[in-house]
């Protein structure tokens, strides 16, 4: 089944404890992206990647890192999480040259 998977789906952590949220897609998509969803703000793009080893900042990149060493994986790294990063995170992917992004199921992160 073609899909975007995220792990973990739920995570509660404490301020300053490094964490990684994984994203993987099995559709051979070139483009991948991370969003955060907050009440009243909709979805905002954190980082995106056009292809392997090519990443760029979105609208709200502060406090996050990403890497794209393989085409299928696009992990989101929080080196020192803070409470304002408590949010619902979505990974998305799409083939190059197409218009529609496919979203993962989301990761709900709580930073205490």
Partner 1 sequence: AQSVTQLDSQVPVFEEAPVELRCNYSSSVSVYLFWYVQYPNQGLQLLLKYLSGSTLVESINGFEAEFNKSQTSFHLRKPSVHISDTAEYFCAVSPITGGGNKLTFGTGTQLKVEL
103 binds partner 1, rule: CB under 8 A? yes
Among 68, 87, 101, 109, binds partner 1 (CB under 8 A): 101
90 binds partner 1, rule: CB under 8 A? yes
For 31, the token pair is: 């483009």
42 binds partner 1, rule: CB under 8 A? yes
Residues 12-31: x/- map of binding to partner 1 (CB under 8 A)? -------------------x
By CB atoms closer than 10 A (0-12, 13-18, 19+), residue 84 is exposed
Count the alpha carbons within 13 Å of 97 in the hemisphere toward its beta carbon.
0
For 43, the token pair is: 């979805």
How many residues bind to partner 1 according to rule CB under 8 A? 25
Among 46, 76, 94, 111, binds partner 1 (CB under 8 A): 94
Give the span between the Cα atoms of 73 and 24, in whole angstroms: 5
- The alpha-carbon radius of gyration of the chain (Å, integer) is 13
104 binds partner 1, rule: CB under 8 A? yes
Of the pair 2, 97, the CB lying nearest partner 1 is at 97
């Amino acid at each position: 089944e073609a899909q975007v998977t995220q792990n973990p789906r739920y995570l509660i952590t404490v301020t300053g404890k490094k964490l990684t949220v994984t994203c993987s897609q099995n559709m051979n998509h070139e483009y991948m992206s991370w969003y955060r969803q907050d009440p009243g703000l909709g979805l905002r793009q954190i980082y995106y990647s056009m292809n392997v080893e090519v990443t760029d900042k979105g609208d709200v990149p502060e406090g996050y890192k990403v890497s794209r060493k393989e085409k299928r994986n696009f992990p989101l790294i929080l080196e020192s999480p803070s409470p304002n990063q408590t949010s619902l995170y979505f990974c998305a992917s799409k083939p190059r040259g197409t218009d529609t992004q496919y979203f993962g199921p989301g990761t709900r992160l709580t930073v205490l």
